[in-house]
Amino acid sequence: MTATLPGHLDHLTDRVAALRQETAALHAHLPGNGLVVWTAGNVSQRLPGTDLFAIKGSGVPYDDLTADDMVVCDLDGRVVLGDRAPSSDTDAHAYVYRHRSDVGGQVHTHSTYATAWAARGEPIPCVLTMMADEFGGEIPVGPFALIGDDSIGRGIVATLQHSRSPAVLMQNHGVFTVGRTGRAAVKAAVMCEDVARTVHVARQLGSPLPIAADDVDRLFDRYQHAYGQ
Ligand SMILES: [Zn+2]
């Protein structure tokens, strides 16, 4: 628990304040899209070019969230700034930042439909063009892992290594997403729940049709490189 940055990080004070502000604001998208209840779920963001990231304090209700509730940690998950205990998922986020230098933001939720797929340990098959766009294939399932050490982080990194998806369904647990920014990770979490719901609904009256692998590749390449620019 510390109210100011340690001396050797003094020069980062303004950037860290902006990071905490932006990370707090991104949290509004989680209840706003129906992805979380009570205090569950969190967003984190790396301070670019540093070994620091901001993450939600543990057990803070979304309605009351401010920049001061964002805890700044190093990549070992140790608190360097903040009055609160960091989220209980901090070790998982820290592990992913340590092992994925391309990741600048992460989101964790227990959003209902996606977590229902996680409860069955079933990947969400790529049967929608928007899934090919955003996820580049199925949304994979990671191993069952208990909180409290590196095992969730290890499971996330290992599972995403074999996938283009920015989202992984950790078995019996919920959704973890990564992105170049916190905003990109939030988008992946919103899209993950949306497609989990649509594919679930599609399953009720029949078998969703797969999309051919080369069409998935074409959709993914177009969306990732051309769309929106
Ligand atoms: Zn969780």
Spans of all domains in the chain: 7-225
Q: How far is the CA of 156 from the centre of ligand 1 (A)?
A: 13
Mean pLDDT, all residues of the chain: 95
Distance CA 50, CA 10 (A): 13
Q: Which residues contact 206 (CB under 8 A, 6 or more apart)?
A: none
Neighbours of 1 (CB within 10 A): 9
Distance CA 93, CA 75 (A): 9
Its CATH architecture, for the domain 7-225, is 3-Layer(aba) Sandwich (3.40)
Q: How far is the CA of 106 from the centre of ligand 1 (A)?
A: 13
Q: How far is the CA of 201 from the centre of ligand 1 (A)?
A: 24
Q: How far is the CA of 141 from the centre of ligand 1 (A)?
A: 14
Q: How far is the CA of 146 from the centre of ligand 1 (A)?
A: 10
Q: How far is the CA of 215 from the centre of ligand 1 (A)?
A: 34
Its pTM stands at: 0.96
C-alpha dist (Å) from residue 109 to 49, 168, 189: 26, 11, 8
Q: Which residues contact 204 (CB under 8 A, 6 or more apart)?
A: none
192-221 confidence digits (pLDDT tens) = 999 999 999 999 999 999 999 999 999 999
Q: How far is the CA of 161 from the centre of ligand 1 (A)?
A: 21
CA triplet 106, 119, 158: central angle to 5 degrees? 45
- For the record, the structure tokens of 151 come out as 């095992």
Instruction: Count Cα neighbours of 27 within 13 Å in the Cβ-side half-sphere.
Output: 27
86-121 confidence digits (pLDDT tens) = 999 999 999 999 999 999 999 999 999 999 999 999
Q: Which pLDDT score is estimated for 229?
A: 52
Q: How far is the CA of 227 from the centre of ligand 1 (A)?
A: 32
C-alpha dist (Å) from residue 57 to 157, 200, 210: 23, 33, 41
